[in-house]
Amino acid sequence: VLERAVKAINDKRERSVMPEYGQRYIESIRGDDAGNPGDTLEKVAHYIDTHLEENLSVNALAGMAFLSADHLTRSFKKRYGKTVSEYILSQRMQLARELLRNSDLTITMVAGKVGFGSYSHFTEQFKKFYGMTPREFQKEGRKERWAGEKGFSAAFFCWRSSGAGAGQRYRFRRR
């Protein structure tokens, strides 16, 4: 397999037909021991991790690794405990969670940065994965950050809507 890849890179006729992303991936494994299936799977996982904003399909990844889609899926699941598609989604959701928590990006911008073309599809997948919408998660993160900066525990963050102190926006207890 590696010999065919190296030959394809060196042969200008085949190189002109090969997609650019495939060329970059093959060049990245050139000289490595691609005969080790675990090594190939690590490279596929690394490619996924570094290209989350792109449209990633099992067929394209399998082609870049010179494997069939079925073989890649079976081997990947055996190695990582989840299918390629599940791995892509979990990596995207982890990155989205970090971006929502630690940046001031809008939810639409986060959706684009983690490879979702539509806000609604991103929101649907995020809610399935975490049990809350990205907006709810972002609000919780902002409360926690604000309370932490002010020296309060976010667990005691509450809204005062009735009683003697009605009209007070927030009530905190020191840590």
pLDDT per position as a tens digit, 115-146? 999 999 999 999 999 999 999 998 887 666 55
**How many CA within 13 A on the CB side of residue 100?**
27
Sequence-distant (6+) residues with CB within 8 A of 146 are none
Q: Would you state the pLDDT for residue 138?
A: 86
| pTM of structure | 0.63
Residue 79 pLDDT class (50, 70, 90 cuts): very high
User: Bigger pLDDT: 61 or 30?
Assistant: 61
If we measure between CA atoms, which residue out of 117, 115, 113, 119 comes closest to residue 99? Answer: 113
More confident residue, 173 or 53: 53
Contacts of 38 (CB under 8 A, 6+ apart): 79
- Rounded CA separation 14/21 (Å): 14
Rounded Cα gap, residues 109 and 148, in angstroms: 26
